[in-house]
Amino acid sequence: MTETAKFAAEQLIVCGGCNAKMGPGNLADILAKLPANKRDDALLVGYDTTDDAAVYQIDAETALIQTLDFFPSMVNDPYLFGKIAATNALSDVFAMGGDVLTALNIVCFPEDMNRHILEKILQGGQEKVKEAGGILAGGHSIHDRLPKYGLAVTGKVAPNQILRNDTVRPGDALILTKPLGVGIVTTSYNAGAASEAAFQQAVDSMQTLNKYAADVLKQHQVTSCTDVTGFGLAGHLSEMLHGQLQATIEAVDLPMIPDAYTCAEEFLVTAGGQRNRNFLQDKIKFELDDYALEEIVYDPQTSGGLLASVPADQVATVVADLKQAGVTANCIGRVTEKAADDPIEIIVK
């Protein structure tokens, strides 16, 4: 452990990441009660489709992507926390098919905490913004009981190249670009139950920009895309299917951190995963008796991978190109039509 991490371990309270996200059910109820936006044809993507970011067209060639994300820490090391939180926030731009332009810091920090910790958080965040090709242009800070950090990010994309989360088609194959289980692993590690190797695998995944996967996907025909974060694989796949389609997932093809499955077998799971299960369980059919696997599917992911759909006849080429670029890539299932009266959206075989 670094000297910074040793110091921060006494200061940062580990309670966050995307596990701190509001459950999908509560959030949907709140958003449904908001008044509808005044119609503006330039707003190409808004909150009504539960997509990853807003997209607003400014001319024939360019649309702006706007997103923000912040949360309390899921690790003790403040520098690492800054990198993970920034990576997570930047991901929405890549999930929409865009490039990062600028980012603004969002900071909540206790008034009586050592400011060296905040310095390290901001350093980690700035490094990731630079790596993503963007410019850190400012930010806003307030005093709060717990440190929280994230970014408001602006990106750009050509209007005809936007990747949405609700345009998947029957017959498409599904690709996932990071292993599942980081929520279970980080929670278990902080309770002393997961190995150092598993924790490091989770950390490596969380601080890896989805830029590298997105750069490969841009070279192929991608029909739909999202990133897997607080609602878990189940929740974000459900959003892609938007109640109209059905996906069959092959459990054997799901990439996961091995210790996550072991911890789930011991009922070391997350509160966010339980919220996801409560909201989604009537939409999912597991054709196997495996509680640990179910928890992996529901587990909130902090800075998770991209979940993309591509035509089935192209999936082998796309997966091969992603792996060639050093990106974890698995074809995890297929999308089919769904009967109107069938409540099941996701089948796990």
Instruction: Tell me how far the alpha carbon of residue 133 is from its chain's centroid.
Output: 19
Q: Which residues contact 271 (CB under 8 A, 6 or more apart)?
A: 19
Mean of per-residue pLDDT scores for the chain: 92
pLDDT average, residue stretch 114-127: 97
226 annotated as a binding-site residue? no
Cα–chain center distance at 119: 25
Tell me if residue 15 is catalytic: no
Query: Is the confidence at residue 3, as pLDDT, over 70?
Result: no
> Do β-strands 284-286 and 346-348 pair in parallel, antiparallel, or remain unpaired?
parallel
Mean pLDDT on 131-152: 96
CATH number of the domain located at residue range(s) 172-348 in this protein: 3.90.650.10
- How far apart, in whole angstroms, are the C-alpha atoms of residue 44 and residue 1? 46
Among 223, 237, 131, 134, CA closest to 176? 237
Domain assignments of the chain as residue spans, ordered by start: 3-161, 172-348
Nearest to 296 by CA among 328, 254, 331: 254
Span of 21-30, 41-50, 175-184, 288-297 with lowest mean pLDDT: 21-30
Q: In this predicted structure, what is the pLDDT of residue 4?
A: 47
Closest CA to 239 of 186, 296, 167, 189: 167
* 49 annotated ligand binder: yes
Residue 48 assigned as binding residue: no
Percent of the chain with pLDDT over 70: 91
Question: Any binding-site annotation on 52?
Answer: yes
Annotated catalytic residue within 18, 108, 225, 263: 18
Rounded Cα distance between 135 and 140, Å, is 16
Q: How far apart are CA 304 and CA 208, in angstroms?
A: 9
Longest dimension (CA), the chain: 58
Average pLDDT of 23-50?
Answer: 76
pLDDT for position 26: 63
pLDDT of 8:
44
pLDDT above 90 as % of the chain: 83
Pairing type for strands 135-143 and 99-109 reads parallel
- Averaged pLDDT for residues 120-149: 97
Q: What is the pTM of this model?
A: 0.90
Mean pLDDT of the 64-73 span: 95
Kindly give the interhelix angle for 182-190 and 196-206, rounded to the nearest 10 degrees.
130
Architecture of domain 3-161: 2-Layer Sandwich (3.30)
50 is in an annotated binding site: yes
Strand order through the sheet with 135-143: 43-45, 54-57, 63-72, 148-157, 99-109, 135-143
* pLDDT tens by residue, 232-255: 999 999 999 999 999 999 999 999
Q: Is 224 within any annotated ligand binding site? A: no
Cα distances (angstroms) measured from residue 193 to each of 79, 90, 178, 206, 322: 23, 30, 22, 19, 33
| pLDDT for position 50 | 79
Is 215 assigned a ligand-binding role in the annotation?
A: no
Counting Cβ atoms within 10 Å, is residue 277 exposed (0-12), middle (13-18) or buried (19+)?
buried
51 assigned binding-site residue: yes
Q: Look at 284 and 31; give whichever has higher pLDDT.
A: 284
pLDDT at residue 7 is higher than 50: no
